[in-house]
Amino acid sequence: MLPNSSEMHLDTISNGNTMQHTLDCDLNQRQKRRCTAAAGLDETGRNQTDFVQSAMTDTSAETINSSTKTLPTPHMDLDSQSSVHDSHYPLHKEISFPAADVKISAYHTEWQTTISSVLPALVSIRFSQVAAFDTEGPLTSEATGFVVDAKLGLILTNRHVACSGPFLGEAIWHDHEEVDVFPVYRDPVHDFGFLKFNPTEIRYMGVKEIELAPDLAQVGLEIRVVGNDAGEKLSILSGSISRLDRNAPFYGDMTYNDFNTFYLQAASSTSGGSSGSPVLNLQGKAVGLQAGGHTKAATDFFFPLDRVKRALELLRNDQIIPRGTIQVQFLHRPFDEVRRLGLCKETEETVRKLDPKEIGMLVADVVVPKGPGFGMLDEGDVLITVNGQVITKFVPLEDILDNSVGKSVHIKVERGGEELEFDIPVQDLHSITPDRYVEIGGAKLNNLSYQLARQYCVPVSGVFLSEPAGMLRLTGAPDAGWIITTVDTIPTPDLDSLIAVFQKIPDRKRIPVTYYSIADVHSLSVGIINVDRHWSSFRLAVRNDKTGLWDFTQLGDPIAPIAIEPMNATFQQLDESLGPAQHLFQSMVKVNMSIPCRIDGFPKSRKQGAGLILDSKRGLVVVARNIVPFAMGDVTLTFSDSIIIPGKIEFLHPTQNISIVSYDPRLIGTTPVKSAPISSVSLAQGHRVTLVAFNHNQHPICIETTVTDISPATIPINAIPRFRAINFDSISLDTPLAHQCSSGVLADAEGRVQGLWLSFLGERTSSGGDNEYHLGLDIRFIIDTILPSLQKGVKPRLNGLSAEFVPIQISQSRNMGVTDEWVKRIEKANPKRRQIFMVKKTETGMKTGQVLKDLDLVLAISGKVVTLVSELDVREDWGEFIQMTVMRNKIEMQLTVPTDEMDGDSTHHVVIWGGAILQGNALINGL
């Protein structure tokens, strides 16, 4: 299911029987497909359908994360079918002859009888592909199917419904009985598959089956598409077959596409959820299988049932369904195009005499490298005969190939007017269709499929990264279609080779992985990964077509990590013109956080930023909490861009945007790191400072600038609960370069640190991204309240008010009851920062909220006038209660307010079940 965006346009170029689609997207296609599918709508708010890219759709209504959302549909009154049919028979209202009325009425009655007779054979299908596999990611969706063998319990539907990967689904009958279904066959190429159910579980309704009649499909045939269109369980859409020889529709790159078959075409205006619907004639026989359609037209595409009927017969006899291939994609081209390719007049005459209705011939469009046909057939070859039989259609071609697996076929083609003949071996198509995958380090991999290899004209070999996540979230677009070539310098031509390599690599070892995009095989990339055998499993999943399940096998216990040997490094020499602040880079490290699963509403799986060494002897480093958001994950520290060692999370501040991590100083040997020199002077508006940071290219920079403002900041609330810094004064700088640097420090003229420059995680944007705010933070509160305890090896115990405070103007406070006496006391207490703080909200379920109320104005704490937000922040010296003077509803009150013990690490336990990540509700109840 691929979304359209406001920047996506469709270029439809009629070229024989083909249709090209051009996509202009501001985001990569697979990422947009997974993000927007969760809402069931495209980015412009239009209805989404399965496997849609550009203007093509596979029509099943998709959602993700087990939240099935059906697509809206125009109102349709199923009881007024005759009025719908009147649009097809306008003479019904104009001709007054009773005999004509009787005939038309009888025609409508026949269709009503037909629809009623097939309802016991129709099912709505709710299904999930629970893991990424081959061309598709995990999804939850709805579609349609119909019974083709009531005795054996066989349901026909689309391949993209039966899923190439792990499947979980149920069928809902017309009387709302539900039964579990599982796939027993999905075609390697064509868009059909069979699901199986237990007929004895249907208790209240007699199950019927629909007969397959592919020979009855013809141009002009009146048809009805009956199915779960738009997720409405039952919709009846009418139309007439307009084409029998349309080439297979193209749904987009990096997704499933059918080929080497004709499709039927009609204008029936189906949408998401109708995938797998029967295309019925007046006698109630299926002449086609609904598969896809146009998003900007009424045109729909039906899969013909010739090969489906063959597969069904073999299934009924419990036989293997043989499928053969020479790894060549053919397209049907009209005679005027084929003549331009050099077709001889004599050949055209022969073909037209054999079939006067024939309008074209099959032409080789893609010859897959290293396949059976490679080196013999070329693109543009016109197919003449196979085993002496003139072939101009796909069904007889496939019939010969399917019956010749393991043998050779004699093929005659014309190339530029010259006849050529070849004996080409026929390969088992199932052998190049993946039926297993590996999970390791949060990623999933399978052998490259013929489906993708044909699409990009590359050999069917290599390991395809179907889910680039966890340790294998490689640099570049996540939907680029990465092929892994080596792991730790060892070639991995197939899945078995990759398994053998990873079984020998210790946990947490850093190794190189080389890879390339399937769309650009000539550009090889390399990435350094941390092998993860401790957060996730290493197992093999193999499809079992007998049970419909996937059998999982653990691939061995992890090898213990190798002990890290100490290493030495030196720091980059910077120009002396940068002043004393340049030496602060010896007190800075790069901190990397790798997150195995997303909790606490945090949107990323990896973060990197600069940290400041507070104590080099004890290995204590302060970093933004936007970089290290919680304790679940792996932290590494990079010194001088040379040494990488593991870190440990020591402390997460409950309200401020800081975390403290530690490292073992012995592991960096004699590397000349230093504890950062700290200034005793707090920053003020107008002060000159030097921003010492790493820019977006991770290069060190020093910029002298001016503090433009220091004031309380409010980070916008996100719709999904997650950590948000509150009750702090932010520092703003007079340089646009500050916003290009996500982390660093603010130093005075002597190179002493006065503040931190940090990235703050904000709210989710309407486009699906996340805002980040780059702001400064005074460092004194860390040195005074946090560092001393950590230097003693003790975690700070902080008490505070579980509330968020915001400043208001003195003029506003007067209107809320603050007297002139209090205004004078506030002005005297702090002539530079005259402000009063109001309770914006209190945290649910905490003791503070039992006494303090929203909109209270805080005047004093323990008799001291409050003029700074830092005086309301968490502290170590606060006891169980504090005395507060507040103004509430214009009444001055003396309150004994209980404090709460604050713990920044809100999530301690996570349960992963059924694809969901479950955790406690600390953030939900919080601010």
| Catalytic residue status for 66 | no
The tally of CA atoms less than 13 A away on the side-chain side of residue 677 is 15
Q: Per-residue confidence at 53, pLDDT binned at 50, 70, 90?
A: very low
- Say whether both 260 and 191 belong to one domain: yes
Examine residue 12 and state whether it is found in any structural domain, yes or no.
no
Q: Within 10 Å of residue 335's Cβ, how many Cβ atoms?
A: 15
Same domain, 779 and 815: no
What are residue 828's phi and psi, to 5 degrees? -75, -35
Top-ranked range on mean pLDDT: pick from 107-111, 332-336, 898-902: 332-336
Q: Active-site residue among 54, 92, 134, 160?
A: 160
- Residue 303, strand partner residues: 289
Q: Which two tokens stand for residue 427?
A: 């390969």
Residue 97 lies in a domain: no
Where residue 496 falls (left for φ over 0; alpha for ψ -120 to 50; beta otherwise) is alpha
Please indicate, yes or no, whether residues 143 and 226 belong to a single structural domain of this protein: yes
CB atoms within 10 A of CB 175: 11
The residue whose two tokens read 């959602």 is 63
Reported as half-sphere exposure (CB side, CA atoms, 13 A), residue 272 has a value of 28
pLDDT above 60 (res 22): no
Give me the mean pLDDT over the 777-789 stretch. 93
**Residue of 267, 328, 284, 273 whose CA lies nearest to 123:** 273
* pLDDT for the residue numbered 100: 54
**For residue range 886-913, what is the model confidence (pLDDT) as tens digits?**
999 999 999 999 999 888 776 888 898 8
Segment 165-171 shows an average pLDDT of 95
* Phi and psi torsions of 822, nearest 5°: -70, -35
Give the CATH number of the domain where residue 725 resides.
2.40.10.120
Answer whether residue 764 is part of any domain: yes
Whether the per-residue pLDDT at 471 is higher than 80: the answer is yes
C-alpha distances (whole Å) from 91 to each of 76, 81, 283, 746 are: 23, 16, 24, 83
User: H or E stretch including 799?
Assistant: strand 798-800
Q: Hunting for tokens 């149920």 — which residue is that?
A: 170
Percent of the chain having pLDDT more than 90?
Answer: 73
- What pLDDT is recorded for position 65? 38
Is the same domain home to 685 and 761?
Answer: yes
Q: What is the pLDDT of residues 727-751, one digit of tens each?
A: 999 999 999 988 888 899 999 999 9
Share of the chain above pLDDT 70, in %: 88
172 and 224 assigned to the same domain: yes
Q: State the amino acid at position 220 in one-letter form.
A: G
pLDDT at 32 over 60: no
Rg of the chain, C-alpha, whole Å: 34
Instruction: Tell me whether residue 102 is in a domain.
Output: no
The domain boundary, picked from 726, 756, 791, lies at: 791
Residue 690 tokens read as 């030097």
Whether 332 is a known active-site residue: answer no
Strand pairing partners for 326?
A: none
Q: Indicate the range of 17-26, 316-325, 674-683 predicted with least confidence.
A: 17-26
pLDDT in tens, 536-572: 999 999 999 888 899 999 999 999 999 999 999 999 8
Q: Which of 41-45, 189-193, 300-304 has the lowest mean pLDDT?
A: 41-45
| Listed residue (672, 675, 530) closest to 592, CA to CA | 530
Q: Which domain holds residue 834?
A: 798-902
Among 63-77, 117-131, 774-788, 851-865, the least confident range: 63-77
**pLDDT tens digits for range 596-648:** 988 998 999 999 999 999 999 999 999 999 999 999 999 999 999 999 999 99
Say if residue 638 is in the same domain as residue 684: yes
Given 387, 413, 429, which residue is the final one in a domain? 429
What mean pLDDT is reported for the chain? 87
Q: What is the average pLDDT across 482-507? A: 97
Chain segment 560-609, per-residue pLDDT in tens: 999 999 999 999 888 887 888 889 999 999 999 999 988 998 999 999 99
Rounded to the nearest 5 degrees, what angle is found at the Cα of 324, between the Cα atoms of 322 and 330? Answer: 140
592, 598, 600, 602: CA torsion to nearest 10: 60
Q: Which of 187, 191, 402, 778 is flagged as catalytic?
A: 191
Q: Rounded mean pLDDT of 22-31? A: 36
Residue 750, both tokens: 């002597």
Distance CA 269, CA 261 (A): 22
| Tokens linked to 348 | 């055209």
Using pLDDT thresholds of 50, 70 and 90, give the confidence band for residue 101: low
Q: How many domains does the chain have?
A: 5
Query: Which pLDDT score, from 0 to 100, does residue 108 have?
Result: 78
Torsion angle of C-alpha atoms 517, 519, 522, 526, degrees rounded to 10: -10
Taking 80 as the threshold, does the pLDDT of residue 8 lie above it? no
Helix, coil or strand: residue 351: helix
Q: With 0-12 CB in 10 A as exposed, 13-18 as middle and 19+ as buried, what is 880?
A: exposed
What is the amino acid identity at position 755? Answer: G
Q: What is the pLDDT of residue 475?
A: 83
Once rounded to an integer, what is the mean pLDDT over residues 160-185?
94
Tell me if residue 399 falls in helix, strand or coil.
Answer: helix
Compute the distance between CA of residue 328 and CA of residue 401 in angstroms, rounded to an integer.
12
822/820 Cα distance (integer angstroms): 5
State how far the Cα of 734 lies from the Cα of 703, in Å rounded to an integer. 10
- Specify the residue for token string 């406690």: 920
Report the residue count for the chain: 927
Helix 306-316 to helix 394-402 angle, to the nearest 10 degrees? 30
Above 60 in pLDDT, residue 47?
no
Cβ atoms 798, 874 nearer than 8 A: yes
* Angstrom distance (rounded) from CA 344 to CA 336: 12
Q: Within a domain: residue 907?
A: no
824: its two tokens: 């004078």
pLDDT for the residue 576:
80
Task: Based on the fold, state whether residues 828 and 680 are members of the same structural domain.
Answer: no
Distance in angstroms between the alpha carbons of the first and the last residue of the chain: 36
What tokens does 903 get?
């713990």
Q: Place 98 in a pLDDT band, splitting at 50, 70 and 90.
A: low
Q: What is the structure's pLDDT at 506?
A: 96
CB 253 within 8 A of CB 201: no
State the pLDDT at residue 30.
40
pLDDT for the residue numbered 63 = 37
Among 744, 731, 510, which residue's Cα sits nearest to residue 609? 744
Map tokens 């508006």 to a residue: 685
The residue-averaged pLDDT of 60-85 equals 37
Instruction: Write phi, then psi, for 310 (nearest 5 degrees).
Output: -60, -45
The SS3 of residue 732 is strand
- Residue 14 pLDDT exceeds 70: no
Which CATH number characterizes residue 872's domain? 2.30.42.10
Query: Is residue 20 predicted with pLDDT exceeding 60?
Result: no
Same domain, 716 and 804: no
**Per-residue pLDDT at 149:** 97
Decide if pLDDT at 5 tops 80: no
Spot the catalytic one: 60, 164, 271, 274: 274
Residue 227 token pair: 């199915």
Q: Which of 647, 642, 630, 585 is nearest to 610 (CA)?
A: 585
Specify the pLDDT at position 902. 86
Does 16 fall in a domain? no
**Domain containing residue 529: CATH number:** 2.30.42.60
pLDDT digits (tens, 9 = 90+) for 192-239: 999 999 999 999 989 999 999 999 999 999 999 998 877 777 888 899
Tokens of 905: 């690490």
How far apart CA 36 and CA 880 sit, in angstroms, is: 48
Range in 31-45, 176-190, 199-213, 433-447 the model is least confident about: 31-45
Asked if residue 170 and residue 213 are part of one domain, the reply reads: yes
Which two structure tokens, joined as six digits, stand for 788?
């001393």
pLDDT tens, position by position, 384-422: 999 999 999 999 999 999 999 999 999 999 999 999 999
DSSP letter for each residue of 824-866:
HHHHHH-SS---EEEEEEE-TTSSGGGT--TTPEEEEETTEEP
| Cα–Cα distance measured from residue 625 to residue 775, given in angstroms and rounded to the nearest whole number | 13
User: Catalytic annotation on 160?
Assistant: yes
User: SS3 of 461, please?
Assistant: coil
- Across 494-596, the runs of DSSP E, i.e. the strands, are 510-517, 520-530, 539-544, 549-554, 588-594
**240-249, 298-307, 826-835, 899-908: which range is least confident on average?**
899-908
Please report whether residue 201 resides in a domain: yes
Query: How far, rounded to the nearest angstrom, does the alpha carbon of residue 94 sit from its chain's CA centroid?
Result: 55
Residues 6+ away with beta carbon under 8 Å from 480 = 28, 517, 518, 519
Residues 663 and 706 in one domain: yes
In the numeric block, which tokens belong to residue 463? Answer: 């390991």
Which of 686, 732, 687, 695 lies closest to 713 in space, CA to CA?
A: 732
722 and 629 share one domain = yes
Do both 412 and 473 map to the same domain?
Answer: no
- State residue 42's pLDDT score: 39
pLDDT of 56: 39
Residue 80 domain-assigned (yes or no): no
